[in-house]
Amino acid sequence: MTSFNRGKSRRAFTLVELLVVIAIIGILIALLLPAVQQARESARRIQCTNHLKQIGLAWQNHHDTYKFFPTGGYHWSYHITYDRDSPAIGKQQGAGWAYQILPFMEQQNVYEGSGGADNLAKSIIAMETPIAGYYCPSRRPAIAHPENNDWYRCNTQKLTLSDKRRHEFAQTDYAASNSDRDGVLSRPTNSGCNGSTPTQPKDNHKQWEITMSAITDGTSNTLMVGEKRLATQNLGKYQGDDNEGYTSGWDHDVLRSTRRQPLPDPRTGNGANRFGSSHPGGFNALLVDGSVRFIPYTIELTMFDRLGKRSDGQVLTLD
């Protein structure tokens, strides 16, 4: 009797079964995607926090070295100020706080404008070099704005209008507190520009060089630097509070007010001199003691205003 083995029949997927499997996979991806995005945002916020911690250490080291915090600079129209061929220090420096702490951010070459043939070239090297630690990864990479005419007109080297050169402008996502004269930076009384000759400060030097002892409300109760609010649609373009760059002297490119409610980044418009960020729920803030706190947008405005003042006598505790 002849015998043979029957092969096992192979059952294929039907079209309905295939569609069901695809639908299940789609549902799983839809469920997992928000979690993945949330994890990525959490990582970016941690990185942003680390940037602010490094900035805080730089402020502290500046104080340890010179016995005062960096100053607010003179005005947005100033080039970097040089004492002969070296950057000027403290109240003599026209550029702002973010430039002054560069040596303590491991950016000595940028600070000195290494490779520049003259002081103007050195100034431009510093102004157009993006500093990675000055950009929040939730908002944008460390890329300078495209080449533009040099609109800086003031300098102790008495640069003339014929000295303008085209170059890029590196920005920052962090601003110091407070643009209302009563924060860790004190606003210069005479910060304007007369032609190409700067007006020098005439007020008391204590208004220029704030020391740790001036933070009488407590270092853990005073805001030093925080994320600044910016319109997302205009990122990468020149806008009113994101144009002169991180080296700017007293200007809302590098300063924000605590008298205004912090808000998330808008799509259009401008930052409106407010603190804020691209993070959901709030923004990262650096206190004078070096700690970084996440401040919710819902913070009571009176408390936020007190947080920005160094010596108003209204001591608060952040929970």
Rounded CA separation 33/20 (Å): 20
- At 104-127, the pLDDT tens digits run 999 999 999 998 888 888 999 999
| Amino acid 103: pLDDT | 97
Residue 8 placed within a domain:
no
Who's near 129: CB < 8 A, 6+ residues apart? 110, 144, 170
| Amino acid 204: pLDDT | 40
Please tell me what DSSP assigns to residue 287.
Answer: E
Pick the closest to residue 103 from 93, 111, 92, 91 (CA basis).
111
3-state helix, strand, coil in the chain (%, to 5): 30, 15, 55
206, two tokens: 């204590």
Pick the closest to residue 55 from 224, 273, 296, 308 (CA basis).
224
Q: CA neighbours within 13 Å on the CB side: how many for 205?
A: 7
Residue 187 placed within a domain:
yes
Residue 300 placed within a domain:
yes
Residue by residue, DSSP assigns 183-229 as SSS---SS--EETTEEPPP-S-GGGTS--GGG-TT-GGGSEEEEEBP
End-to-end Cα distance, the chain: 90
- At 5-62, the pLDDT tens digits run 555 555 666 877 778 888 888 887 777 666 666 667 788 889 999 999 999 999 999 9
Residue 179 placed within a domain:
yes
Pick the closest to residue 282 from 48, 102, 101 (CA basis).
48
Number of structural domains found in the chain? 1
- At 126-165, the pLDDT tens digits run 999 999 999 999 999 999 998 876 666 565 444 444 456 7
SS3 state of residue 104: helix
List the Cα angle 307/201/126 in 5-degree steps: 75
Residue 10 placed within a domain:
no
Q: Which domain holds residue 246?
A: 16-307
Q: Which amino acid is at 35?
A: A
Residue 314 placed within a domain:
no
Residue 5 placed within a domain:
no
Rounded CA separation 223/249 (Å): 19
| Amino acid 190: pLDDT | 54
Pick the closest to residue 78 from 252, 247, 238, 201 (CA basis).
247
- At 192-213, the pLDDT tens digits run 554 433 444 444 433 478 999 9
Higher-confidence residue: 38 or 72?
A: 72
Rounded CA separation 36/29 (Å): 10
How many C-beta atoms lie closer than 10 Å to residue 115's C-beta? 9
Residue 319 placed within a domain:
no
- How high does pLDDT run on average in the chain? 84
